[in-house]
């Protein structure tokens, strides 16, 4: 008997080809499936060897994590039960290794696991692959290229902007002092740091402190931050296809991204044209180069320039990474000083010496603001604006004889390690003297990480602390900061750390 498919050689060929393709596809699919199942089983097997708070079948701990304040509180409370670290379960197959011991944090940071997490993915939909969100060679190349933008020769030129911005805040707050109104601390600090970051980034003076957040670009920066936080708490919105096609939040996000990109690209194009007209040497000889000038002048080793998109991503990153964190630090330092007024007088003594017969704090004065600097460090210890840093293990990590398997989310927490009683005496007390050189002793270098540490530490930390020193010194010179001791503060960490129930009043010293 003849089989029908053998009747013609043409059919034969087609049939075999068709079957081979199907077999290949099924084979590849099965291989992928097996790999993925194997990976998941490994994650569950090794992950469950660690201590973990009780979790449920299928949902893990997710029911305990919803909302910025709930998530924060859950991590802090659980860290008090388990020594050094614990495993949290996002569903029953995705472990997250939460660690807060200096030695373990050191191991994690030195292993340099990449930044692959939902938060960075959501951020990339806006700030693309700038320094904060990129990994591997792309990150290393750009980090090398951007480091000169934060050299003190460049930072020096921002000193007038720092002073002017602090003066505008003083002007604004003198009205609040007169009316005996509590400060809208975070809001005002956020406008103030925008006024610092925008001119330093691209010489843009939007005067946010006086005109508010009405500018479409400022509004978009603010709205995008809020939308990213909300997206994090809605599992359905994690899927980009659903988020951007079927949700009003996704559509609003895209709309605001367009506003932000249009604005930044417009400025870059204008500056590129200016550069072509006046020439590189003239731009380089300008008294004050902004971040954008540095980016436009930067060249990779092979002489190529950053692309327009690369520049846009880095400028957006500068703004995003710089403004909220610095505003948070300004707010918590003023809160700490209001709560512990004895430190205000020490700052006042030091700044009065500097401002005897002038109104500006100059570059060379910064090194004399020693006590101000100790207070900022201590406020950053108690309330680090980035309380948790997230990574994903790209290889197995050995911790105390156990394995944190590849694919595990890793979260190391500055907030928790900064209050570790094994490292810090009376950790909940505000005591700036712990940062005096004679008191640092042999403190573990990874026990204090407000700017993270290692290769991916904060590139903007000197930029931020220079501004903060000037702002705090000038503000404390002018006002008494007063708060109500009885109120219990609480925290949440939507994107950066926020304190709630903070009420601060001012008394003008003029």
Give residues with Cβ within 8 angstroms of 224, minimum separation 6.
126, 253, 256, 257, 260
Closest approach, Cβ 191 to ligand HEM, in A, equals: 15
Q: What is the DSSP string of 22-36?
A: HHHHHHHHHHHHHHH
Closest approach, Cβ 320 to ligand HEM, in A, equals: 8
Q: Which of 189, 334, 354, 386 binds ligand HEM (CB under 6 A)?
A: 386
Binding to ligand HEM (CB under 6 A) within 132-151 occurs at 132, 143
Closest approach, Cβ 465 to ligand HEM, in A, equals: 7
Share in percent of the chain as helix, strand, coil (round to 5): 60, 10, 30
**Stretch in the footprint of ligand HEM (CB under 6 A) among 83-91, 366-374, 382-390, 419-427:** 382-390
The single-letter DSSP state of residue 290 is -
Closest approach, Cβ 377 to ligand HEM, in A, equals: 11
Closest approach, Cβ 181 to ligand HEM, in A, equals: 27
Taking the least distance from each CB to ligand HEM, the nearer of 264 and 317 is 317
Radius of gyration of the chain (CA): 26
Closest approach, Cβ 326 to ligand HEM, in A, equals: 4
End-to-end CA distance of the chain: 110
Q: Is 184 left (phi over 0), alpha (psi -120 to 50) or beta?
A: beta
Closest approach, Cβ 211 to ligand HEM, in A, equals: 22
Q: 457-476 mask for ligand HEM (x: CB under 6 A)? A: -xxx--xx------------
Q: Which of 131, 177, 397, 475 binds ligand HEM (CB under 6 A)?
A: 131
Taking the least distance from each CB to ligand HEM, the nearer of 325 and 373 is 325
- Structure tokens belonging to residue 458: 């904060």
Binding to ligand HEM (CB under 6 A) within 439-458 occurs at 450-452, 456, 458
Strands 402-404 and 498-500: unpaired
- Structure tokens belonging to residue 185: 């601390």
| Closest CA relative to residue 130, chosen from 297, 306, 289, 323 | 306
Taking the least distance from each CB to ligand HEM, the nearer of 55 and 106 is 106
Q: Which of 260, 264, 294, 389 binds ligand HEM (CB under 6 A)?
A: 389
- Structure tokens belonging to residue 116: 């692959």
Taking the least distance from each CB to ligand HEM, the nearer of 132 and 493 is 132
Taking the least distance from each CB to ligand HEM, the nearer of 132 and 366 is 132
Residue 473 buriedness (CB in 10 A; 0-12 / 13-18 / 19+):
buried
Closest approach, Cβ 200 to ligand HEM, in A, equals: 7
Instruction: For residue 264, state whether it binds ligand HEM (rule: CB under 6 A).
Output: no
Taking the least distance from each CB to ligand HEM, the nearer of 112 and 484 is 112
Instruction: For residue 385, state whether it binds ligand HEM (rule: CB under 6 A).
Output: yes
Taking the least distance from each CB to ligand HEM, the nearer of 151 and 251 is 151
The single-letter DSSP state of residue 383 is S
**Stretch in the footprint of ligand HEM (CB under 6 A) among 357-365, 383-391, 438-446, 476-484:** 383-391
- Structure tokens belonging to residue 319: 């703004």
Contact between 403 and 46 (Cβ < 8 Å): yes
Taking the least distance from each CB to ligand HEM, the nearer of 52 and 321 is 321
Q: 311-340 mask for ligand HEM (x: CB under 6 A)? A: ------xx--xx--xx--x-----------
The single-letter DSSP state of residue 485 is T
| Closest CA relative to residue 154, chosen from 455, 462, 491 | 462
Distance CA(297)–CA(317), nearest Å, equals 18
Instruction: For residue 204, state whether it binds ligand HEM (rule: CB under 6 A).
Output: no
Contact between 220 and 261 (Cβ < 8 Å): no
Asked whether residue 458 is marked as a ligand-binding residue, the answer is yes
| Burial state string for 94-103 with b = 16 or more CB within 10 A and e = fewer than 16 | bbbbbbbbbe
Give residues with Cβ within 8 angstroms of 205, minimum separation 6.
195, 198, 199
Residue list, annotated binding site: 458
Give the binding site for ligand HEM (CB under 6 A): 131-132, 143, 317-318, 321-322, 325-326, 329, 385-386, 389, 450-452, 456, 458-460, 463-464
Q: Which residue ranges are tagged as binding site for heme? A: 458
């Amino acid at each position: 008997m003849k089989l029908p498919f053998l009747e013609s050689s043409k059919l034969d060929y087609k049939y075999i080809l068709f079957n081979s393709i199907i077999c290949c596809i099924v084979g590849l699919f099965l291989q992928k499936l097996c790999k993925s199942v194997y990976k998941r089983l490994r994650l569950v097997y090794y992950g469950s060897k660690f201590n973990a708070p009780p979790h449920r079948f299928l949902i893990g701990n997710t029911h305990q994590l919803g909302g910025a304040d709930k998530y924060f509180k859950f991590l802090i409370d659980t860290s008090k039960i388990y020594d050094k670290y614990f495993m949290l379960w996002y569903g029953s197959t995705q472990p997250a290794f939460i660690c807060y011991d200096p030695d373990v944090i050191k191991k994690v940071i030195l292993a340099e696991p990449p930044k692959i997490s939902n938060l960075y993915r959501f951020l990339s939909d806006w700030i693309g692959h700038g320094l904060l969100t990129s990994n591997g060679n792309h990150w290393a190349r750009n980090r090398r290229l951007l480091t000169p933008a934060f050299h003190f020769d460049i930072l020096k030129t921002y000193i007038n902007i720092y002073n002017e911005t602090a003066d505008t805040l003083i002007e604004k707050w003198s009205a609040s002092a007169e009316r005996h109104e509590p400060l809208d601390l975070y809001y005002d600090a956020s406008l103030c740091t925008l006024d610092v970051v925008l001119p330093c980034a691209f010489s843009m003076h939007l005067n946010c402190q006086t005109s508010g957040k009405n500018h479409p670009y400022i509004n978009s920066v603010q709205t995008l931050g809020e939308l990213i936080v909300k997206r994090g708490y809605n599992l359905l919105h994690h899927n980009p296809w659903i988020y951007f096609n079927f949700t009003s939040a996704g559509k609003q996000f895209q709309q605001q991204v367009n506003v932000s990109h249009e604005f930044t690209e417009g400025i870059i194009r204008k500056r590129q044209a200016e550069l072509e007209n006046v020439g590189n040497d003239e731009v380089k000889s300008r008294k004050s180069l902004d971040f954008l000038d540095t980016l436009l002048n930067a060249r990779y080793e092979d002489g190529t320039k950053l692309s327009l998109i690369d520049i846009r991503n880095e400028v957006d990153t500068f703004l995003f990474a710089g403004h909220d964190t610095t505003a948070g630090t300004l707010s918590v330092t003023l809160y700490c000083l209001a709560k512990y007024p004895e430190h205000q007088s020490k700052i006042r003594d030091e700044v009065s010496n500097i401002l005897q017969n002038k109104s500006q704090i100059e570059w060379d004065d910064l090194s004399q603001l020693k006590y101000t600097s100790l207070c900022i460090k201590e406020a950053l210890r108690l309330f680090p604006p980035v309380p948790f840093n997230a990574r994903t293990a790209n290889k197995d990590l050995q911790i105390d004889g156990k394995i944190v398997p590849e694919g595990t989310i890793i979260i190391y927490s500055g907030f928790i390690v900064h209050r570790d009683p094994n490292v810090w005496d009376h950790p909940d007390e505000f005591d700036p003297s712990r940062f005096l050189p004679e008191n640092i002793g042999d403190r573990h270098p990874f026990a204090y990480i407000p700017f993270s540490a290692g290769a991916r530490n904060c590139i903007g930390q000197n930029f931020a602390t220079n501004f903060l020193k000037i702002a705090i010194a000038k503000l404390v010179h002018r006002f008494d900061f007063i708060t109500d001791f009885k109120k219990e503060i609480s925290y949440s960490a939507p994107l950066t750390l926020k304190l709630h129930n903070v009420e601060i009043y001012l008394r003008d010293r003029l």
